[in-house]
Amino acid sequence: MKLRSKSVFLGFALSLAISGPACSQGFVEIHAGGVEDMPLDYAPEYKPVNEVAAPVEEVIRLAQVSGANGFNRNLKKQKMKNPPPPEDGIHDTENEGTFVLMPPLEAYEGLPPSDFGNYVDWVKAIDEKKIAPRWDRVDSSEEPFVMDMDIHRPVKA
């Protein structure tokens, strides 16, 4: 035999000689009855499933959710659409500047309505020329421009 196959054979024989007694220790032949007589000192104690499972007549109790997320003002139903700043719950009523702000119902009067957000369809308002936003902070005569975002890839090859 070659040196390599001799070393593999000797390594296998050595490992079998060392682990053989460990494998045969505590060996119990499995009978037709099962593995009840096999020593399982290392295994933890488990209860049968019927002892662990909850009884059928146990009542499942649900938590009351009426007060859940009461802190979130967005989940509450608004009393009125676009209330004045002192009454909207967002602005500070102790700040006198809050009372100087124009109420939204007055500011949005005549604008096209929407069912979402602050209940104004801003795109429709621009299209109908109800509002004319400034496109530049300093120059009021500045016109809007459309930025070309198209990417052209010429075919090569």
pLDDT digits (tens, 9 = 90+) for 141-152: 888 888 888 888
Of residues 132 and 75, which shows the higher confidence score?
132
As a whole number of angstroms, the distance between CA 37 and CA 49 comes to: 21
Is the pTM of the predicted complex or chain greater than 0.95?
no
Residues 31-80: pLDDT tens digits?
A: 555 555 556 666 667 666 666 655 566 666 666 656 555 566 666 666 77
Q: What does the domain layout of the chain look like in residue ranges?
A: 81-127
In this structure, what token pair is assigned to residue 156? 């090569």
Instruction: State residue 102's pLDDT score.
Output: 93
Return mean pLDDT, the chain.
Answer: 75
Of residues 81 and 5, which shows the higher confidence score?
81
| Amino acid occupying residue 138 | V
Other Cβ atoms less than 10 A from the Cβ of 85: the count is 19
Instruction: State residue 122's pLDDT score.
Output: 94
Instruction: State residue 10's pLDDT score.
Output: 64
Instruction: State residue 89's pLDDT score.
Output: 84
